[in-house]
Amino acid sequence: MKSALNLRNVVAALVIAGLVLLPVYSALTGKVFILTMFTRIVILALAAASLNLIMGYGGMMSFGHAAYLGIGGYAVGILAFEGIGSGFIQWPVALIASALFALVIGALSLRTRGVYFIMITLAFAQMAYYIASSLSRYGADDGLTIYKRSNFGSLVDLSDRTQFYYVCLACLLGGLYLIWRVVNSRFGLVVQGVRSNEQRMQAIGFHANRYRLVCFVISGTICGLAGALLANNTDFVSPAVMYWTRSGDLMVMVILGGMGTLFGPVIGAIVFLVLEELLSQVTEYWALIMGPLLLLIVLFARGGIMGLLGRFSRG
């Protein structure tokens, strides 16, 4: 057991080291493309990690998590459009808007369980998608171009590729640290207990749904941050970031990397997005290869990649 944990930790440490050194590699080899690609990976890894908090630790299968990417993104985009360029305003608004959205849809959808919960979170996300599509002032279907990235004064320049990458990486690592603390706190244990056996947790004195809801809001807020980053990364936000297939991608990243493991979603995001990139270079029908690959992982590696690592080191 101990050694299993160690192998996982070694892999996680290596990946983090790789991510930290990536801009150096990119600068030395002149491959700008790789830095751009990994900026996106790091941002979506943060979104996947936030989903893992409710899905892996909380047992809440949300199929609408991409909504927060859109809400965070639109908060930045709309404020920029209206002439408020400061990141000190844009980002807190993105977080608060995501938290409020999570509070409302969480309060409603947590009355249901299982398949109904999946469907209702999906429905809410699709509603957000259609609302964004109807915002004619902000580009409607075509989306909204962000002409200037969030302005943090002299603190950091987000238009600088390397600086922006490190901001994203800091958000990812900070997010993971936050999730790690939360998961092991009193609160986190209650949430995991509710995942394991809700009736039991009620019987020993916990108001299960209230803990679920708070967890849901924390998760949505973190994902809203990822949304603000993503909008800055693409200098653009459109309803497409909230489309249900994007929610599905996030779920796949979590399952691929290993649900309920701290670092699994990061590995999942890297593997998923790198594979997507490589396969789409080979054929435009890359999904035909990706699909069966995912199927194999789900069938033969229940715990995802992190689960596999654990099993190998156990022998």
| Chain residues in the site for another protein (CB under 8 A) | 181-182, 184-190, 192-193, 196-197, 199-208, 211, 214, 218
What is the closest distance, in whole angstroms, from the C-beta atom of residue 181 to another protein in the complex? 5
Separation CA 156–CA 229 (nearest Å): 14
Separation CA 49–CA 85 (nearest Å): 28
Separation CA 158–CA 236 (nearest Å): 14
β-pair partners for 236: 145
Buried/exposed 20-37: b ≥16 CB within 10 Å, e otherwise: eebbeebeeeeeeeebeb
Separation CA 250–CA 253 (nearest Å): 5
**Quick one: angle between helices 114-133 and 244-257, nearest 10?**
130
What is the closest distance, in whole angstroms, from the C-beta atom of residue 252 to another protein in the complex? 23
What is each CA distance from 70 to 22, 43, 76, 182, 305, in whole angstroms? 27, 13, 10, 25, 28
What is the closest distance, in whole angstroms, from the C-beta atom of residue 83 to another protein in the complex? 36
What is the closest distance, in whole angstroms, from the C-beta atom of residue 264 to another protein in the complex? 16
What is the closest distance, in whole angstroms, from the C-beta atom of residue 209 to another protein in the complex? 10
What is the closest distance, in whole angstroms, from the C-beta atom of residue 211 to another protein in the complex? 7
Phi, psi (deg, nearest 5) at residue 148 = -135, 130
Q: Closer CB to another protein, residue 178 or residue 290?
A: 178
What is the closest distance, in whole angstroms, from the C-beta atom of residue 282 to another protein in the complex? 40
Q: Closer CB to another protein, residue 137 or residue 186?
A: 186
Separation CA 184–CA 200 (nearest Å): 20
Q: Closer CB to another protein, residue 161 or residue 311?
A: 311
Q: Closer CB to another protein, residue 128 or residue 194?
A: 194
CB 263 within 8 A of CB 10: no
Q: Closer CB to another protein, residue 177 or residue 285?
A: 177
Q: Closer CB to another protein, residue 197 or residue 283?
A: 197
Q: Closer CB to another protein, residue 41 or residue 201?
A: 201
Polymer length in residues for the chain: 315
CB 71 within 8 A of CB 237: no
